Amino acid sequence: MSRKPYEKPMLVKHQLGMLNKYGSVPSVEPMLSIDGVAVAELLEKYGSPLFVFSEQSIVDKTEELNEAFKLRYPKTTVAWSYKTNYLDAVCKVFHREGSWAEVVSEFEYDKAIHNGVPGSRIIFNGPLKPADALEKAFRNKSIVNLDNFDELQTAEEVAEKIGEDVSIGIRVNLGTSATPPWGRFGFNLDNGQARDAVRRLLAGGKLSLNGLHCHLGTFIQQPEAYQEQTAKLSHFANWLREEHSIILDYIDVGGGIASCNTLHTQYLPGSQTTPPLSRFAEAVSSGLSELTCQPDDYPTLFLETGRALIDDAGYILTSVIANKRLPDGQRSVVIDAGVNILFTAFWYKHEIVPAQAVSGTPEQAIIHGPLCMNIDVIRPSLLFPPVEVGDKLVIKSVGAYNVTQWMQFITYRPAVVMISTSGDDAIIRRAEDLSTITDMEEVPGWLQD
């Protein structure tokens, strides 16, 4: 029989089965497999930690979004927001399911082309569109939403250079009663700047206006914000038609719909506080009903939904590397996945569950990552069952932004695997090793032996 590790005796407040004012304390359900593939097997095969994406989840969520919106506004097109997760395999699932691409840099633009997306199905947003990138996008007949007056002028110069008719959209920002103001991007609609942009564009005579774009913000849990947004955009579209005889091809409402994650500031789980996609669809279609154009002239509605489609599809599988008792008596569980690969831990209380059966009394714990950095906290506080070194855990709903904003810092970034709709698993991004880092570096001559 192996000796148990010594731990100084201490009194621990047991919370099992206790009630608080919202009901009973949730019990921790282990997760042994993902889409039928055993977690232990995945870790054995690909190493720990490991990102895993469920193709089935992407397919289901995309279908849910499309159905909810097309039922209420048939001319709806979804464009996958590349910055949310631009792994080729993930993008290819979205494109196969009918999504266009939404990109915010030339790098993302090139990645969409590399993934086989026709230029005419790429929406190009963001404040960084140098002349070369604009030229490429105009020649490819991509949808380009301009951000500011300087960019408008660059776009005119590029249009003149290529000598073709160029249509563009303008990005606008606006206030709603439910969202904090995001005035940084686009032309302000509320103070008349957007109208000035239209007048300036028409005076230039080199571009035509065919669309409006507005991205309200992110992790928006209030459908009514979208109702206000689309009502304002519809009124603006009505003004464009009445005042300038402009009939828009599209209205792009951006992304921002909250996923079912739980913010640190929330008590109730996101699964209870984030409304279903149908409520957002209801809100958008209600705002668009303010359009006064003929039915044939209804614009295409573009959605650039990111996190709400991919968060639930992503998991991190991780291993316990230590159990500690902190000086203040708190229990710390140290795992091999840190905030360098899970930056959303700063925003969300990610659900973390063991990947094997558990026994023993759950105790309040803090989950630390492996980095030699004080900020490496994956969950500052949660009720967690006893786990031992080597036990496996699953961190849920990590699909959005982590594999684009992750950092190679202190540790290598791990492999990423996808589980197909038929239950096969395959690598979609290899784990880093020393050569990944050193291949990018140069040692100048005077430092070589």
Ligand X SMILES: Cc1ncc(COP(=O)(O)O)c(C=O)c1O
For ligand X, give the closer residue by CB, 136 or 215: 215
Cβ-contact 259, 311 below 8 angstroms? yes
For ligand X, give the closer residue by CB, 384 or 401: 401
Cβ-contact 212, 233 below 8 angstroms? yes
In terms of DSSP H, where are the helices of 274-375?
A: 277-288, 307-310
Q: How far apart are CA 87 and CA 106, in angstroms?
A: 16
For ligand X, give the closer residue by CB, 173 or 318: 173
Cβ-contact 250, 281 below 8 angstroms? no
Q: How far apart are CA 196 and CA 157, in angstroms?
A: 19
- Nearest residue to ligand X, using CB? 306
- CB contact set of 166 (below 8 Å; sequence gap of 6+): 138, 155, 158, 159, 206, 207, 208
* Beta bridge pairs of residue 396: none
Smallest separation, CB 33 to ligand X (Å): 28
Cβ-contact 251, 230 below 8 angstroms? yes
For ligand X, give the closer residue by CB, 123 or 288: 123
Neighbours of 327 (CB within 10 A): 5
- CB contact set of 370 (below 8 Å; sequence gap of 6+): 321, 334, 335, 336, 337, 338, 376, 410, 411
For ligand X, give the closer residue by CB, 102 or 376: 102
Cβ-contact 162, 138 below 8 angstroms? yes
For ligand X, give the closer residue by CB, 253 or 393: 253
Q: Which residues bind ligand X (CB under 6 A)?
A: 81, 83-84, 102, 125, 215, 218, 254-257, 304-308, 400
For ligand X, give the closer residue by CB, 173 or 210: 173
Neighbours of 390 (CB within 10 A): 10
Residue 395: which of 146, 36, 34, 103 has the closest Cα? 34
For ligand X, give the closer residue by CB, 125 or 318: 125
**Where does residue 262 rank: exposed (0-12), middle (13-18), buried (19+ CB within 10 A)?**
buried
For ligand X, give the closer residue by CB, 319 or 397: 397
Smallest separation, CB 402 to ligand X (Å): 12
Task: Say whether 200 sits in a helix, a strand or coil.
Answer: helix
Phi, psi of 87, rounded to the nearest 5 degrees: -60, 135
Smallest separation, CB 63 to ligand X (Å): 17
For ligand X, give the closer residue by CB, 65 or 395: 65
Residue 211 CB-half CA count within 13 A:
26
- Give the pair of three-digit tokens for residue 264: 């640190």
Smallest separation, CB 334 to ligand X (Å): 30
Residue 301: which of 378, 237, 392, 353 has the closest Cα? 237
For ligand X, give the closer residue by CB, 31 or 91: 91
Q: Which secondary structure element, helix H or strand E, spans residue 45, and what is its range? A: helix 39-46
**Where does residue 23 rank: exposed (0-12), middle (13-18), buried (19+ CB within 10 A)?**
exposed
Smallest separation, CB 393 to ligand X (Å): 25
Q: How far apart are CA 124 and CA 105, in angstroms?
A: 8
For ligand X, give the closer residue by CB, 61 or 368: 61
